[in-house]
Amino acid sequence: MQLGRQTKNLAGHSKPWRTTCISNNNHKQQNIIDWIIPRQVTRGSGNLTTLENVKKRAENDAKTHGYYLTPDPELLQDLLEGLQKNEERYGYPSCPCRLASGKFELDRDIICPCDYRDPDVDEYGQCYCALYVRKDVIEGKTATQPIPERRPMEKQARAYTISSESTAKTPPQNVEQTEKAP
């Protein structure tokens, strides 16, 4: 498979591709389709992915990079559900522990596995949200600890600004009428 090339799907649309700078400074071409279900990346695509598929992708990625998924079953379930919900909401699996803007170009760095995972796992034994952990954490040899946010403040601020603008424009959902006509 060639990376970085443009292809057309049956509808004639180009599929999205991205180049990521892996945290260890190795530049690699990464096909978004390797992580996201093959479909056009559109916001709010609906429930096109199952929790089982989200888990399989995370397990495959962990195995490929020599990591493990968190040993805490409740935390794992919450994180996988968060990834699934974000993929339904935005069309891509943004990190469930960070605020996404809903704009693919602005959120590329927090699409799971995020660009900050490798340095976090190297330094702290787990990624920011604790989905991916090292072997020594699994074996109980290394205690987990809080991890500082590596995402640049300007990217966080953009996500908060865009998110609050979207919320302000969206009318309240499921509001019941409390007043009755006389």
Quick one: what percent of the chain has pLDDT higher than 90? 54
* Whole-number pLDDT of residue 45: 47
- Domains of the chain, earliest start first: 18-159 (3.90.460.10)
- CA Rg, the chain, in Å? 18
Pairing of strands 27-30, 132-133: unpaired
With b meaning 16 or more CB within 10 Å and e meaning fewer, what string describes 57-91?
A: bbeebbeeeebbbbeeeeebebbbebbbebbeebb
Segments of the chain with pLDDT less than 70: 1-48, 166-182
36-82 pLDDT, tens per residue?
Answer: 433 444 444 445 589 999 999 999 999 999 999 999 999 999 999 99
- Taking the C-alpha atoms of residue 58 and residue 175, their distance in angstroms, rounded to an integer, is 37
* Whole-number pLDDT of residue 169: 63
* Whole-number pLDDT of residue 26: 33
Q: How far is CA 69 from CA 36, 37, 66, 76, 78, in A?
A: 18, 20, 10, 7, 12
Q: What average pLDDT is seen over the chain? A: 75
* Whole-number pLDDT of residue 36: 43
CB 48 within 8 A of CB 91: no
What beta strand segments (E) does the chain contain?
18-21, 27-30, 68-69, 132-133
- Taking the C-alpha atoms of residue 41 and residue 78, their distance in angstroms, rounded to an integer, is 24
* Whole-number pLDDT of residue 166: 67
Chain centroid offset of residue 150 CA? 15
